[in-house]
A and B are shown apart, each in its own frame.
Chain A
Amino acid sequence: MYGKGLRPLSLITAASFALTLAAVFFWAPNDAYLGFLQKIFYVHVPLAILTLVGFVAGGLMAIAHLRTRDRRWDMRSYVAIHISLIFGVATLITGSIWARGAWGHWWVWNDPTLVSFLLVMLLYATYQPLRFAIEDPERQARYASVFAITAGAFVPINFIIVRLAPGYVHPRTLGNINGNLPGRMQVVFYLAMVSAALLWFTLWRFELTAKHVAAQMRHLRGLLGEDADPAPVRRSAAPSLTHAGNVG
């Protein structure tokens, strides 16, 4: 049961977000260099980190799919990548707004951090069309898993290369030179990280539950004999859990 515990999880996520927002605007000090504008940091950076972690998690779930041949792992991987793409879009938008305020430009093409993140996003933007292009559900799941693993391996390699890059405009968040946050800012940042992680996990569970319910419904229709003259299965990028073993 994917929906089990979803309500308390949602409430904890909402409470955590309320606490984070209060801490960001009423407790964390203003940055000496960027002033109030730095508040965007607490939404932009956790989203960026969760996007990349989500892509890697999607790759790990895809490994589990290929190892076990259990289509539920393909579904989990698909939903993880889907949620991470949404987080990625939010990262790009909040980042652009911050860049406009801080640097006077919506986008800077000569910064490796920005361009590499865009490359990762463009790579994952091909995931859904790839799935949609393959009609056979078994092949679709297999090929999508191979893609998720390959792209998931590219994410940390890309991250390390960018960290080693000598010339950048984008600041480092943790570690490296001048990247460490002072006291209260660091506490609020970790709080924001926990909230964003909770949101990612809640949305992942929410979408998995919705997809699982839809699959159960299709299965139930089949059991009730509606498929005596079945309508052709609509082509979809989303995984189909139509087998009884996967639905239950």
Chain B
Amino acid sequence: MAPLPLHTAGPYVAAAYIAFFVIVLVYVAIMAAKLVRSEQALSELTEQVKRGRQGRAGEEDGR
């Protein structure tokens, strides 16, 4: 049997490589979304620590 000509085999090869890269990209995108959520949570915690420090400083000044 002769090998498939390039114009017939090409789409299959392209589809296989594209499928692989899409799967990896989707995974990375999901992980990136989780990273953004972690970053937001970190910002909230930083704000909370700052507010706590300001509150404590205010209490000490009051005394």
**A interface residue numbers (CB < 8 A to B):** 30-37, 39-40, 43-44, 47, 86, 89-90, 93-94, 97-98, 100-101, 199, 203, 206-207, 210, 213-214, 217, 220-221, 224, 226
Verify A210–B20 contact, CB threshold 8 A: no
Verify B38–A213 contact, CB threshold 8 A: yes
Verify B45–A224 contact, CB threshold 8 A: yes
Main secondary structure of the interface of A (DSSP, over half): helix
Verify B27–A203 contact, CB threshold 8 A: yes
Interchain CA distance A224-B35 in the complex, whole Å: 21
User: Can you spell out 25 A-B residue pairs with CB atoms less than 8 angstroms apart?
Assistant: A33-B3, A35-B3, A35-B5, A35-B6, A36-B3, A36-B10, A37-B3, A89-B23, A90-B20, A90-B23, A90-B24, A93-B16, A94-B19, A97-B19, A98-B12, A100-B12, A101-B8, A199-B24, A206-B28, A210-B38, A213-B35, A213-B38, A217-B38, A221-B45, A224-B49
Interface residues of B in 5-63 (CB under 8 A from A): 5-6, 8-10, 12-13, 15-17, 19-20, 23-24, 27-28, 31, 34-35, 38, 41-42, 45, 48-49, 52
Instruction: Count how many chain B residues have C-beta atoms less than 8 Å from C-beta atoms of the other chain.
Output: 29
- Known A-B contacts A35-B5, A40-B16; the reply to A217 vs B41 at CB < 8 A is yes
